[in-house]
Amino acid sequence: MSQSFDVLVIGSGIAGLSFALDVAKRGRSVAILTKKDKADSSTNWAQGGLAAVTALTDDFPAHVRDTLAAGDGLCDPKVVRAIVRDGPECVRELAEWGVRFSRGPGGGYELGREGGHGARRILHVKDMTGRIIEEALLKAVAREPRIALFEHFFAIDVITRRKLAPRTPRGGDRVLGVHALDVRDGRVLTFRAPVVMLATGGAGQVYLYTTNPDIATGDGVAMAWRAGVEVRNMEFIQFHPTALYSATGRRFLISEALRGEGAVLRNLAGEAFMRGVHPLADLAPRDIVARAIDAEMKKSGAAHVWLDIRHRNEAWLRRRFPQIFAACRALGLNLARDLIPVVPAAHYVCGGVATTIAAETSLSGLYACGEVACTGLHGANRLASNSLLEAVVMARRGADSVDRYLRAVARARAPVPDIPVWVDLGGGDTDERVVISHNWDELRRTMWDYVGIMRTTKRLERARHRIANLSREIQDYYWNFSVDARLLELRNLLQVAGLIVDCALQRKESRGLHAIADHPRKLRTARDSRLVKK
């Protein structure tokens, strides 16, 4: 069974939904595939907000400077300027789709401030910005007749001319569609389209402790890599400094916006330790704060540090941070009266599928935007709340590029080859499924222990060896058993883990989020790490 569309979108977060809306209004038919419920996305979990210049006290050059400073010499300045400049117009477009950002008493936006920002420029809806954006975009998608949304469809791999005809030169390769698993009944369907937009989000589940939802398994990066697309800067994994500590291992995000409102990090002795680390103290860029917390914990042997916002009254905290207040109360903590235990946790992949400023990858017809992509905006460390900005700007730019590409495809009238149906090898010993759960746990512990906040070459080599062994086992399993969602996710996570380690071993310096004890200094010239499949 197969279905045909002009454009396939893989993922239903802010990047995928806003892109689909932009493409559909140009008269194109769009299918959105999402592997779980339509609202299951990293966007839905975003608390802080969207960084954009909307205040008279702010300007584009200031936002650009803050982004470049956080990126530690590895941002592409042209990309930074373009995305920052497009921000206000995209905010207006979000408002047209129904997003209502919080307003202050005078009617203007109630802007927050977060780490690395020199001004208040974070648009938010209390501490549930992502959820409100997700709800508004899904309502807009439901009103658009040109968009079909397929829930519980797991995209397995991109179908290309080269996969069907291996002798096709790389320069002549292009996208033909995707194979996708219907998670509910186990069938694999073919979706045909000349364009695929990867908007699959991040890969936080590759680590033992993460602020990401369960869906963040690096699917888009793995799919692009298997299709021969360049991947870049995967070593730069942002560990959010302040996740709520609990004995269960779950890590609920405590937004940086609390520190923007004066919250202070303290060690177990009650000392505010960030003042001696960076001029911005608790509002330093995330890489600096996360390493400082990690150092404090290792020095004292503590399982966490404290976050202190007791100078704010309870009524104000309940209004401004309702989700965070409720999450703390569930553990018997009151933001207004108690110190809050926090620890770093894997949060955001700053690298990803290499794209142009038009969201184009090195494979004709394959595009990427949002966390799955590496545009050059984030460099070695993402500035807080630039992620939602990048997603919506690049979705719009990607829609422009896709429209031009589809016009060119129509003019070329190239024949479309037949796509063979998926062959299910089937069966297998169900007792062997323990391999999946065992390897999943081993991978996440390996990455946490050896590819974490502070690294060494020896640990990275150890991780590479273990990941290679796990990958061989799962690849063998993949070819001999029927596929299911858990197997596909683990296959993708292992692919992504290998890419993270390979990029980390390329970088013989400490820069941004990549801190390695063997190479503590920065090199004079900043270069991207690049991986291209042979």
Q: What is the DSSP string of 375-435?
A: -SSSTTSPPTTHHHHHHHHHHHHHHHHHHHHHHHHHHHTPPPPP-PPPP------GGGGHH
Q: Residue 154 — φ and ψ, nearest 5°?
A: -100, 110
Whether residue 379 contacts residue 238, with contact meaning beta carbons closer than 8 Å, is answered with: no
Strands 195-198 and 231-232 turn out to be unpaired
Q: Quick one: tokens of 124? A: 């938010």
Whether residue 456 contacts residue 509, with contact meaning beta carbons closer than 8 Å, is answered with: no
251 is an active site residue: no
Q: Please pick, among 286, 382, 464, 511, the residue that the annotation labels catalytic.
A: 286
Strands 373-374 and 352-354 turn out to be parallel
Q: Quick one: tokens of 237? A: 């994994």
Other beta carbons within 10 angstroms of residue 261's beta carbon come to 17
Closest CA to 291 of 528, 45, 72: 72
**Any alpha helices (H) in 10-154, and if so which ranges?**
14-24, 60-70, 77-96, 129-142
Closest CA to 258 of 362, 115, 361: 115
Instruction: Measure the CA–CA gap between 375 and 196, rounded to whole angstroms.
Output: 17
Helices (H) and strands (E) in the chain, counts: 14, 22
DSSP reduced 3-state for 51: strand
Whether residue 351 contacts residue 234, with contact meaning beta carbons closer than 8 Å, is answered with: yes
Q: Residue 392 is which amino acid?
A: V
- For the annotated catalytic residues, the residue numbers are 286
